[in-house]
Amino acid sequence: MNMEDIIIKKRDGGTLTSDEIKYFVKGYTAGDIPDYQASALLMAIYFQHLDKAETFQLTDAMRCSGDTIDLSGISGTKVDKHSTGGVGDKTTLIVGPLAAACGVTVAKMSGRGLGFTGGTVDKLDSIPGFSTSMEPAAFMAQVESIGIAVTGQTGHITPADKKIYALRDVTGTVENMSLIASSIMSKKLAAGSDAIVLDVKCGGGAFMKNLSDAQELSRIMCEIGESAGRKTVAVITDMSQPLGCAVGNALEVREAIDVLSGHGPADITELSLRLAGVMICLGGNLDAGTGSMATSGANAVPNAGAGLVDGTALARQAIDAGVALARQALDSGAGLAKLRELIAAQGGDPTVVDDPSKLTIAKVAVDVVADGAGYVCEIDAERIGIASQHTGAGRARKEDDIDYGAGVLLHKKVGYPVRPGEVLATVYSGNAHKAEAAAAEVKAAFRIGEGKPEMPILIKDIIS
């Protein structure tokens, strides 16, 4: 097989075979195919696209390029949740415990943040003592014991994706739906869960800026999941403004605790309940006929999610029943108790759940105040994310250190009335110069207008 022939074939609009795709992925990962040939093929794919079969074959080849996690020894349907990345997105810290409290088996591998979007592992690292590095045996034992574990991705998972993405990033070939979908799904499939819930962000603070692109990406990822035998549902959600009020690691953990305590911001609470509800459906933990929990043994509903989330009235009814169960776990405190149990199991200090002040916040605080009266009409999520990064809460490069106590706390959201001198947000940093500079960026992210704006629709679509 010849790499030049593969490049020419795709350049001219041909369909690559499974063997040709495997040859490219294996050869490039091993260093046998040079960057210039890999770049040429990626550019050909960018312009000529991949069909459904090619996209799955690329995903599967990248999945098989390194270690894969075998969760078959863990009882129950294992459900994973993945977000495409946003500003203030701490849903894993809420959704995981809620779903686990409802009997869903949650085996979660998460990543670190890079750029203006935060990573779940960084948020968890802000909890004193919490370990985000687990050996596979310990990871699986914890999932079997308490129903949930969250660990960082190992360097041995999908090495092909890491190498190909790094090349795409510097060759102008990032913005291709099949390449984006295969990158995301190769990692999700390698992680071994039986079902996957995708939170696809849409808006100014997300990679997908408009709904049609988010829908296309969601459909492709769901097709990949179906081809791999994994039930996959995509929930398209708004990221035109930050999610919740906290942006930054310890700040976001505090807010997650607030949500699980029943007094968090409305948007992050609503979204978390919805995502947990879908996980409950897919996890086989819902009797669609009664809307009650399905227990183990004779009362269990095997694959209860299968066929339910398909746009039908029954599907919506099942999701609503799942949301109701998640709400019960929230209202009863079961979700908060599960977070406490998760923290303790992974070596963290569980008392932070009862006393969030133990999560240290940076000492330098700068308020951002409104100049005039009106309503908050817009909060540029990307600018808030960049400002948070500049406080020290995020990384510009993967090797950068971060300040876990830094970030931005919003006091006003879209639709809120404001008066002159009112505080719009507070910026936290360990460095006064960084705090002042970030505060200026935060102020520029707010647009105040005379009329009350229409509120953004939080959940835009559900695709399976």
Please give the mean pLDDT across all residues of the chain.
Answer: 91
Long-range contacts of 419-423 (CB under 8 A, 24+ apart): 419/370, 419/373, 420/370, 420/371, 420/372, 420/373, 421/369, 421/370, 422/369, 422/370, 423/367, 423/368, 423/369, 423/370
94, pLDDT greater than 80: yes
Question: What integer pLDDT is reported at residue 284 of this predicted model?
Answer: 77
**Length of the chain as a residue count:** 464
Question: What integer pLDDT is reported at residue 369 of this predicted model?
Answer: 98
User: Which residues lie closer than 8 Å to 153 by C-beta, 6 or more apart?
Assistant: 109, 110, 111, 187
5 flagged as catalytic: no
Angle between helices 35-48 and 159-169 (to 10 degrees): 80
The fold of the 79-352 domain, in CATH, is Pyrimidine Nucleoside Phosphorylase; Chain A, domain 2 (3.40.1030)
The percent of the chain in helix, strand and coil, each rounded to the nearest 5, is 45, 15, 35
434 flagged as catalytic: no
At residue 113 the predicted structure's pLDDT band, cuts being 50, 70 and 90, is low
161 flagged as catalytic: yes
Domain made up of 3-48: CATH architecture: Up-down Bundle (1.20)
The pTM of this model reads: 0.90
pLDDT tens string 128-167: 999 999 888 899 999 999 999 998 877 789 999 999 999 9
Question: What integer pLDDT is reported at residue 294 of this predicted model?
Answer: 43
In contact, 134 and 364? CB cutoff 8 Å: no
Q: What average pLDDT does the segment 2-11 reach? A: 98
Looking only at the bridges linking them, the beta strands covering 79-83 and 195-202 are parallel
Distance of alpha carbon 364 from the chain centroid: 29
Which residue has better confidence, 386 or 401?
A: 386
Considering the candidates 63, 82, 90, 230, report the single residue annotated as catalytic. Answer: 82
Q: What does DSSP assign to residue 127?
A: S
Which residue has better confidence, 403 or 318?
A: 403
Considering the candidates 187, 274, 340, 390, report the single residue annotated as catalytic. Answer: 187
Give percent of the chain above pLDDT 70.
Answer: 91
Considering the candidates 22, 112, 123, 168, report the single residue annotated as catalytic. Answer: 168
pLDDT tens string 30-70: 999 999 999 999 999 999 999 999 999 999 999 999 999 89
82 flagged as catalytic: yes
Considering the candidates 60, 161, 199, 403, report the single residue annotated as catalytic. Answer: 161
Domains of the chain: which residue ranges? 3-48, 79-352, 358-449
Question: What integer pLDDT is reported at residue 116 of this predicted model?
Answer: 60
Considering the candidates 183, 186, 240, 464, report the single residue annotated as catalytic. Answer: 183
305, pLDDT greater than 60: no
354 flagged as catalytic: no
287, pLDDT greater than 70: no
Question: What integer pLDDT is reported at residue 390 of this predicted model?
Answer: 94
Give helix then strand counts, H and E, for the chain: 16, 15
Q: What does DSSP assign to residue 393?
A: I
Question: What integer pLDDT is reported at residue 403 of this predicted model?
Answer: 92
CATH class of segment(s) 358-449 = alpha beta
At residue 117 the predicted structure's pLDDT band, cuts being 50, 70 and 90, is low
